[in-house]
Amino acid sequence: MYGMLRSEGEMMKIYISDLTKVNGIQREINLQEKLEEINFNGDNIRFIEPIKLTGIIRDESGIIKLKGELNLVVELNCHRCSKNLEQVINICIDESYTNTEKAPDDFYKFSGNEIDFSPMIFDNILTNIPMKILCSEDCKGLCEVCGCNRNLKDCNCKIQQYDPRFEALLKLRDKEFR
């Protein structure tokens, strides 16, 4: 699934050969990269600024631990009225990496002397984007009939609300009253 995360470079990879030589060694990381727009569940997520990953990475007896923060500024659309919204998202990162086959499911895997943070970044972005994005709690959305933004103007369209389970009865009613 993380194959959809595309960037303009390969800046989210680091070499860890210096970390694995001595247990307990740590290193600060400060990475940033411009990401392309991604589509998730029909929503476009546009990255306004390069994403930033900062933190400390260290080897703890063969397990590489990353603690830090992922910062991004994204543009999303309101689910009711389609208004573009800019949102700042800060995500606390506490992840573990291993190069063994028998790793717990919540560990990321790496091979060789390089760790690619892209899968972890993608997972964290998608789990921290709100499921329903609204420009405001009282957003009126778009008119079902004419499509105008009801937050900006009131239309005179008649919107009949009925339970779809009664659609057959409505058709029968319409037939009888013709």
HSE-up (13 A, CA, CB side) for residue 38: 19
pLDDT in tens, 142-152: 988 888 999 99
Residue 97: both structure tokens together: 């990496």
pLDDT at 41 over 80: no
Q: What is the 3-state secondary structure (H, E, C) of 60-101?
A: ECCEEEEEEEEEEEEEEECCCCCCEEEEEEEEEEEEEEECCC
Q: In this predicted model, what pLDDT tens digit does every residue of 148-166 receive, in sequence order?
A: 999 999 888 877 677 778 7
Residue 98 has pLDDT above 80, yes or no: yes
- Phi-psi sector, 128: left (phi>0), alpha (psi -120 to 50), beta: alpha
Read off φ and ψ for residue 99, nearest 5 degrees.
-110, 15
Provide the whole-model pTM: 0.74
More confident residue, 18 or 107: 107
H helices present in the chain, as ranges? 17-21, 118-128, 167-176
As a whole number, mean pLDDT of residues 29-58 equals 90
Are 51 and 121 contacting, i.e. CB atoms less than 8 angstroms apart? yes
Counts of helices then strands in the chain (DSSP H, E): 3, 9
